[in-house]
Amino acid sequence: MAAGRTVPFAGFEFMIAWRYLRARRAEGGVSVMTWISLVGVTLGVMALVATLAVRAGFRAEFVDTILGANAHVSVSLASYIDDSGVPSRMIRDYEAMAARIAAVPGVTRAAPLVRGQAMISYGDRSNVAEVYGIAAADLATIPRVAGSVEALGDIGRFGEGIAVGSGIARDLGLRVGDRVRLISPNGARTAFGVSPRVNAYEVVYVFTAGRYDIDRTRIYMPLAEAQSYFNRDGAADEIEVYVADPEAVDALAPALYAAAGAGALLWTWRDASGAFLSALAIEDDVMFVILSVLVLIAAMNITSGLVMLVKNKGRDIGILRTMGLGEGSILRIFFLCGAFTGVIGTLAGLALGALIAVYVDPIMAAVNWLSGGGAWDPSIRGLYRLPAKLQLWDVGRAAGLSLALSFVVTIFPARRAARMNPVEALRYE
């Protein structure tokens, strides 16, 4: 009988493919290999989605802690010879420079800053700290400091003392109201040289910025006090600048240079963390390739299961061909058998991957408990927790990759079924 032509992917083709998938193995239906391929695709997609979500969340949290506790751009001056004939980098007209920079479109805040290092001591404990001298009004606008959920004390009393990171407070055993000593080697200049400066300050505020390295080393001091303590009378070390769109900070560089004036130097948050962010991007690509190989291996199992299904359904293929179905219909039927496996596995993998991303905190808490608390070390990774962020692009490319691979590997056994000779298929039936 001559083979007839049917509409591609007609309803009966879906029906036959679905019946083949639901048939018991004793009836020549789905083999164990098909179930293995289904589970493999599910686990591969789940791992891909969960990994991409964690990587996206880690980058977002890392960037947020950078932008929430650090200046988007730091403006300083190149070394020059001051009126005393001494090389200096201090900004004398810092108020005027800050006003000019603040007037640049796209800049939300520009504040003078004094920076220095000192040893903080309390009782018999001490630590090295990086001290930031800043005005109280400017400190109140730093999101990760003023808006710290786990903060202790009153930031409104900043003018009466200092603010310290929670890591310093934990290492030294500090509480709000304790008095600490700050020791700087560059103290008062005398006829016998420079003597160390030791001052006592009350801890009025303890903040948690969300970054281990910041919380363990940073101290904020009122600007006027920092100028006196670090011998910066009437001057600042730099102007910290915050912009409306930190991702486009490079585009503001020409305007910032013009506003800052001759001898200005810019140091953006990308300059400070660009190498780490580039490493994260490369790691993301490598992880995607590795997990894509796992999905490919799982999808290849679809081929094995489909070959066995074609072998078991040889008699059915012969009957369908003699009834008038063409090679195209047979190819589409068995293509749909493999495609169903890929689609079901992909959907299940997306659901499980999204579930892991949503509940990553309790999952990591369980892993930490089982491992004795060493699964996530903030001193190494910088962040206190493992974040996850589901992005439509990541979910879409994971699903697209899995479906594409599943469809491609299905074509070859489906073509074998379509080219099967019906006479040979029915000869021994």
Tokens 């730093």 belong to which residue? 142
Contacts 24+ apart (CB under 8 A), 196-199: 197/229, 199/229
Quote the pLDDT of residue 176: 92
Q: Which helix (H) or strand (E) holds 199?
A: strand 197-207
The per-residue pLDDT for range 45-81, each reduced to its tens digit, is 999 999 889 888 888 887 887 787 888 999 999 888 8
Look over the chain and give the mean of its residue pLDDT values, rounded to a whole number: 82
Q: What are 301-352's pLDDT values in tens digits?
A: 887 777 777 777 666 666 766 676 666 777 787 788 888 888 889 999 999 9
Torsional class of 391: left (φ above 0), alpha (ψ -120 to 50), beta (otherwise): beta
Task: Tell me the percentage of the chain whose pLDDT exceeds 70.
Answer: 82
Residue 426 has pLDDT above 70, yes or no: no
State the pLDDT at residue 225.
Answer: 93
What whole-number distance in Å separates Cα of residue 182 and Cα of residue 198? 6
Q: What is the mean pLDDT of residues 202-209?
A: 92
State the pLDDT at residue 81: 80
Q: How far apart are CA 68 and CA 347, in angstroms?
A: 37
Rounded to whole angstroms, the Cα distance separating 405 from 343 reads 11
Residue 27 has pLDDT above 80, yes or no: no
Instruction: Determine which helix (DSSP H) or strand (DSSP E) holds 287, and give its type and residue range.
Output: helix 269-312
Say how far apart CA 184 and CA 117 lie, in whole Å. 7
What digits encode the pLDDT tens for the residues 211-247? 888 888 999 999 999 999 998 888 999 999 999 988 8
DSSP label at 4? B
- Joined together, the tokens standing for residue 119 give 């040893």
- Distance (Å, rounded) from C-alpha 171 to C-alpha 164? 11
Q: How far apart are CA 410 and CA 41, in angstroms?
A: 14
Tens digits of residue pLDDT in 152-188: 999 999 989 999 999 999 999 999 999 999 998 876 6
DSSP string, 368-400: HHHTTS-S--HHHHSBSS------HHHHHHHHH
Task: List, for residues 107-144, the tens digit of each pLDDT value.
Answer: 999 999 999 999 999 988 999 999 999 999 999 988 88
At residue 181, the pLDDT reads: 93
d(Cα 335, Cα 353) in Å, to the nearest integer? Answer: 26
Q: What dihedral do alpha carbons 156, 162, 168, 171 form, nearest 10°?
A: -100
Structure confidence at residue 1 as a pLDDT band (50, 70, 90): very low
Q: What pLDDT was estimated at residue 28?
A: 46
pLDDT of residue 3: 47
Spatial separation of the C-alpha atoms in residues 156 and 146, rounded to whole Å? 10
Record the tokens describing residue 53, joined without a space: 């979500």
The confidence score (pLDDT) of residue 324 equals 65
Task: Give the pairing of strands 73-77 and 238-243.
Answer: antiparallel
Is the pTM here over 0.75, yes or no?
no
Domain boundaries, the chain: 11-64+276-426, 79-262
